[in-house]
Every structure is written in structure tokens, then in C-alpha cells.
């Protein structure tokens, strides 16, 4: 057979179909849609993947080992680097783990400051997630809208703690600084401005036909699989499981706050598809605004940090703390041997669970859909490797 | 939904597995019991499938090195979504040749967690479908989270340290 002057040998199978060969592709480590440095070994037949095997470790900084070397207080700035998109919850997880093993009570105002910071950080993280998801799919305008709003939150958090990304705001026993004068008014003004923009964003992209077609029925995670792989946060709720650590394993002042837990409903396709995971984040941002409003109203006067010795030596023992980070249930297991250095700190992150399910999800997906899957699971590569 | 307290969960495990399940240590969500490394598979399977316990989620799996008592401890944090209770199982493996049954067949989440422990602490998990290094390079010497790990001076000709730029 001749194709444009080239002689091509085509073998024929017995059943008449063409013989094809699997192609093995390396995707990453520096691929713009992998949200950090990670690699996939893709085995594909044409455009259809047989399997995508994640290869991680490019961002492994041994943060858990560093914890054993720098002491209880000294580890706080490192927790920012576990998940730099949502560093406040990491701060809180470490602080709570250290407080639990040492039996320290945080003053009420300190807890409120923490919740305010964490909820703003959650909005900020979700904005980056939904914005970059739209961009990965091919719509670049929504990203600019999301990033614009995110900048204002960066400004607010900068006023709070002096940093825009890696905050180092919390301390064992509370937070480093009280709210600056006038901050509450600015925060409220921002929430007033931001809440209607969520609807605008929905009108811009969420229910856009091209967008929903790309996400509906893609990479469906059944509720049983979600639990088996320990998916957490919006990924778990996207599969219809109504579970939120803030509500069901309550900590801090969340029992005093009223908020809804959005779950996926299979609105445009099947329950647990990429769209469900996406839309849960959109709704969650509204709930964050609700929590922030209540916090600003209810925050009591008083100290923001408890008295904690400079040379902190919690008694020997271990503790496991779970918090709801932007990427869901984050587990902190700490062991103390009674010295000024943590004996062991293990961090179980949401992205770690999420990436382990990709090999299973990728079977029989289009290569282009892998991008949608990565974005919808909201992977943050440094959080996987730690 | 029937939330059980740790004592009740421990009593159930004791009545099923007898002395293989150690004493209940600690309180609240951190209450734990130690089980032998060659029984963890059946105990984990029971925890997941027993309708009263219904631990459908392995929340966390950690490895801790204890050179003083020459053990590597694997810590399993179990959680039940239907019953909203938790329990902690601990397994002590001999440090010079740590072998612990794999539970990757019980909870899919354990597959990657066990790979991480294999990588960073050098624990073997017989029964694991794909036990490879997860975070470190394939040819990395040793297991970094062991307490006596010494960082190699170079890796493929790349120095891992440098002279201080601050001269005293």
C-alpha cells in the first residue's frame, strides 16, 4: 500500500483488524498540567490509555526527617512547605498535634484567628484549583479571574502575618499575632465583594457546555473506591459521601459555627465524576464565606496564644490529629520521647491518597482526560512527596 | 450507626483473637493495641469486614524506628465512616529483619503507604503486589527515616554537602 509516496507495510490480523502496538510515553516531570513536578508513565493505544503509572519523589525534601532535627517550635515554618497552596491548615495540623501530645489548651481568640486564617486560605486554594482546572481544560480566562481574587486574599493574609504564601502564622499554643487594627472590616468587605463573584464564575465557566462535556462522566470514582483509597475532602465528597472532619470529628471552634457540607450529586453526568469534584469546591467557597462572617461576628476578646515554654518538651507518648485542609482530611501522627525534638512526625496528606487512585482511574481514558483527572483531584505535588 | 469506644472495640478483638491482641494502651482516639506481624492480615481483614466494627477506611499507616528496643513499629490508624469510630493497631517488627504481612489487599490505600515505609524504613511486606521504592531513587543506599541513617557524601558524583560560605 502506498501512502503519499511512502511504502507502508500493514499486517492484518485474522479478524481483519489492524495490528497495533502499545506506546509507552513519559509525561512530565516538568509538564504544565501536573501541578508541580511529577511524572506519569503512560501506556497508550493511540489516544486511549491502558494505564498511567504515577512516578513521584521529585519534590521529596524529607520534611518528616527534618522534624526530628529542628525541634517542636522550629518545625512550624517547614510545615508551610508541605502544602504551599494551603499552608495555614498545615500550620494548624502541626500545632494541634504538638498541643495534643503536650496537653496544651489554646485560648478562644487564638482558635478564632486560626479558623479565620484557614478558611481564607481554603478559598485561596480552591480558587487556584478551579482556575487552573479551567486552564488545563483549555479556557484561560477563568484562571485570570480566579487569580485576581486570590491576590486580595494574599493581601489580607499578608497583613495578618507578613507573608503571602508560606505563612508561619501559627505557634504551638495559638497564633503569632493578633488581628491587626481594621483587619476585620477589610476581611468583611472582601467577603461581601467575593460572594457574588462565585455566581459570576459559575456563569462564566461552571455550566458552560464545552466545559461540562469535558468533565461529565470522566473518571468516575465510586463511593466504595473513594473510601478504599482513602480519598479525602472534596474528592471524597464529590463521590457523594457527606463527611467533613470539621463537622464529624470536630476540632477547634468549628462546633460553634454553622455551615453546610456540599456533596456531589451527579448533576451533569455520573456521581463521582470530574465535574462533581469540581463543583464541590465551588460550593465550598460559599460555605467558607459563611464561616468567615460568623467568625468575624463571634470572635471574643482575649489572648491569642497560651503560655508555652520556649524549650517545649511534651511528655512521652503519641497522638494522631486530623484536620480538614483545603485538600481534605490531613493526618498528623507525632511521637514524642519527652525531649525538645519530636521523635517522629508522619504527615498523611490528601494529595497522597488522591494520586494513588490515578493508576486505576486512568484505564481506558483518553490521554487528554488525564489532565482533567489530575486537575479535578486537585493534586499539589509537594504535598505528595513531603 | 453504632459508635463503639476503644474499650469495646478492644474487647471484640480480644474475644476473636485472644492474646494475639495486646493490652489496650492510651485513651480516646489514640487508644491502641499491639498485634503480631504475622497476624495483622487476618486481624485487619476482621476489622474491615466485621459489621460491628466496619473499619472501611485506613486513615494512616506510619512506620517508626525504635533502635533502643531494636524494633520498627508500624502504626495503623483505622476509621469507620458508617460508625464514626476509630482504633489504632500497632505492629512491632524485628529491626534487623523487619517483615510485616501486607494489608494492601484489605485497603487499597495501604498499597502506597506500605511502599513508602518499605522505601524510607526498609520494612518488607510479603503479599504486596508491587513493592518498589516510592520517593527515593531506585539505587539510593539505605533507608533515610531510620534513626542511624547516615547521608551519603555524594550521589552519582553530586556532592550532598558544601563548605560553609560564612567564614568564621
Mean confidence (pLDDT) of chain A: 87
Asked if residue A29 has a cis previous peptide bond (ω within 30° of 0), the answer is yes
- SS3 per-residue string spanning A271-335: CCCHHHHHHHHHHHHHHHHHHHHHHHHHCCCCCCECCCCCCCCCCCEEEEEEEEECCEEEEEEEE
Distances (CA, A) of B33 to A7, A331, B24, B36: 70, 19, 5, 10
For residue A270, give the 3-state DSSP assignment.
coil
Residue A29 located in a structural domain: no
Determine, for residues B30 and A320 on separate chains, whether the beta-carbon distance falls below 8 Å.
yes
Q: By the 8 A CB rule, do B91 and B37 touch?
A: yes
- Measuring CA to CA, which residue among A341, A355, A379 is closest to residue A64? A341
- Average pLDDT of the segment spanning A305-329: 89
* Assigned domain for A21 exists: no
Domain count for chain A, please give it: 1
Q: Report the pLDDT value the prediction gives residue A11, as an integer from 0 to 100.
A: 55
The answer to whether the predicted template modeling score (pTM) of the entire model surpasses 0.80 is yes
Residue A380 inside a domain? The answer is yes
Residue A36, in any domain of the structure: no
Exposure string of A53-86, with b = 16+ CB inside 10 Å and e = fewer, is: ebebbbbbebbbbebbeebbbebbebbbbbbbbb
Best residue in B82, B117, B135 for a mutation probing chain A (most A CBs within 10 Å) = B135
State yes or no: pLDDT of A164 exceeds 80.
Answer: yes
In angstroms, the first-to-last Cα distance of chain A is 54
CATH number, position A137? 1.10.645.10
Closest alpha carbon to B83 in B109, B55, B60: B55
- Burial bucket for residue A346 (CB in 10 Å: 0-12, 13-18, 19+): buried
pLDDT of residue A89: 92
Topology of B6-140 in CATH? Beta Polymerase; domain 2 (3.30.460)
Question: Between A and B, how many CB-CB pairs are < 8 A?
Answer: 75
| Position A9 pLDDT exceeds 70 | no
pLDDT category at A97 given cuts 50, 70, 90 is: very high
Cβ contact, residue pair A343, B137, below 8 Å: no
Give a yes or no: residue A319 inside a domain: yes
Query: How far apart are alpha carbons B117 and B134 in whole angstroms?
Result: 9
Q: How far is CA A345 from CA A106, A231, B61, B62, B127, in A?
A: 21, 21, 12, 9, 27
DSSP, collapsed to helix, strand or coil, labels residue B63 as strand
| Domain containing residue A334 | 63-385
The partner residue sitting opposite B108, judged by closest CB among A57, A228, A322, is: A228
Residue A79 falls inside a structural domain: yes
Amino acid at each position: 500500500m502506498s501512502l503519499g509516496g511512502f511504502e507502508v507495510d500493514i499486517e492484518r490480523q485474522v479478524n481483519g483488524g489492524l495490528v497495533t502496538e502499545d506506546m509507552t510515553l513519559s509525561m512530565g516531570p516538568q509538564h504544565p498540567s501536573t501541578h508541580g513536578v511529577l511524572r506519569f508513565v503512560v501506556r497508550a493505544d493511540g489516544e486511549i490509555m491502558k494505564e498511567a503509572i504515577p512516578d513521584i519523589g521529585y519534590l521529596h525534601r524529607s520534611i518528616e526527617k527534618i522534624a526530628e532535627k529542628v525541634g517542636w517550635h522550629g518545625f512550624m515554618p517547614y510545615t508551610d512547605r508541605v502544602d504551599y497552596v494551603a499552608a495555614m491548615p498545615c500550620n494548624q495540623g502541626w500545632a494541634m498535634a504538638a498541643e495534643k501530645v503536650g496537653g496544651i489548651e489554646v485560648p478562644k481568640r487564638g482558635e478564632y484567628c486560626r479558623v479565620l486564617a484557614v478558611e481564607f486560605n481554603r478559598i485561596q486554594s480552591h480558587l487556584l484549583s478551579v482556575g487552573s482546572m479551567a486552564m488545563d481544560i483549555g479556557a484561560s480566562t477563568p484562571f485570570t479571574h480566579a487569580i485576581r481574587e486570590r491576590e486580595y486574599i494574599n493581601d489580607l493574609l499578608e497583613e495578618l502575618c507578613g507573608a503571602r504564601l508560606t505563612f508561619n502564622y501559627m505557634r504551638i499554643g495559638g497564633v503569632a499575632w493578633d488581628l491587626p487594627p481594621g483587619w476585620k472590616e477589610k476581611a468583611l468587605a472582601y467577603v461581601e465583594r467575593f460572594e457574588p463573584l462565585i455566581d459570576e464564575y459559575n456563569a462564566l465557566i461552571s455550566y458552560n457546555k464545552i466545559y461540562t462535556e469535558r468533565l461529565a462522566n470522566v473518571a468516575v470514582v465510586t463511593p466504595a473506591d473513594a473510601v478504599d483509597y482513602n480519598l479525602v475532602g472534596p474528592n471524597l465528597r464529590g463521590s457523594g459521601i457527606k463527611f467533613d472532619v470539621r463537622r464529624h470529628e470536630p476540632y477547634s471552634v468549628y462546633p460553634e459555627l454553622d455551615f453546610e457540607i456540599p456533596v456531589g450529586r451527579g448533576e451533569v453526568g455520573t456521581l463521582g465524576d470530574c465535574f462533581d469534584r469540581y463543583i464541590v469546591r465551588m460550593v465550598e467557597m460559599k460555605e467558607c464565606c459563611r464561616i468567615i462572617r460568623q467568625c468575624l461576628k463571634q470572635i471574643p476578646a482575649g489572648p491569642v496564644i497560651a503560655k508555652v515554654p520556649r524549650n517545649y518538651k511534651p511528655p512521652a507518648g503519641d497522638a494522631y490529629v486530623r484536620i480538614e485542609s483545603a485538600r481534605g482530611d490531613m493526618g498528623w501522627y507525632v511521637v514524642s520521647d519527652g525531649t525538645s525534638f519530636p521523635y517522629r512526625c508522619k504527615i498523611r496528606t490528601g494529595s497522597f491518597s488522591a494520586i494513588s487512585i490515578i493508576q486505576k482511574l486512568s484505564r481506558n481514558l483518553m490521554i487528554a482526560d488525564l489532565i482533567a483527572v489530575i486537575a479535578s483531584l486537585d493534586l499539589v505535588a509537594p504535598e505528595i512527596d513531603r | 450507626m453504632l459508635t463503639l469506644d476503644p474499650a469495646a472495640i478492644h474487647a471484640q478483638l480480644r474475644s476473636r483473637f485472644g492474646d494475639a491482641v495486646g493490652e489496650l494502651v492510651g485513651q480516646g482516639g489514640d487508644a491502641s493495641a499491639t498485634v503480631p506481624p504475622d497476624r495483622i492480615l487476618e486481624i485487619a481483614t476482621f476489622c474491615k469486614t466485621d459489621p460491628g466494627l466496619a473499619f472501611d477506611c485506613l486513615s494512616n499507616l506510619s512506620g517508626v524506628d525504635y533502635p533502643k528496643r531494636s524494633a520498627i513499629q508500624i502504626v495503623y490508624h483505622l476509621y469507620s465512616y458508617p460508625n464514626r469510630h476509630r482504633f489504632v493497631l500497632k505492629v512491632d517488627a524485628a529491626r534487623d529483619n523487619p517483615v510485616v504481612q501486607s494489608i494492601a489487599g484489605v485497603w487499597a490505600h495501604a498499597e502506597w503507604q506500605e511502599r513508602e515505609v518499605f522505601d524510607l524504613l526498609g520494612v518488607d511486606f510479603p503479599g504486596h503486589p508491587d513493592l518498589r521504592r516510592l520517593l527515593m531513587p531506585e539505587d539510593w543506599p539505605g533507608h533515610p527515616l531510620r534513626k542511624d541513617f547516615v547521608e551519603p557524601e555524594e550521589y552519582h558524583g553530586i556532592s550532598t554537602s558544601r563548605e560553609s560560605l560564612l567564614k568564621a
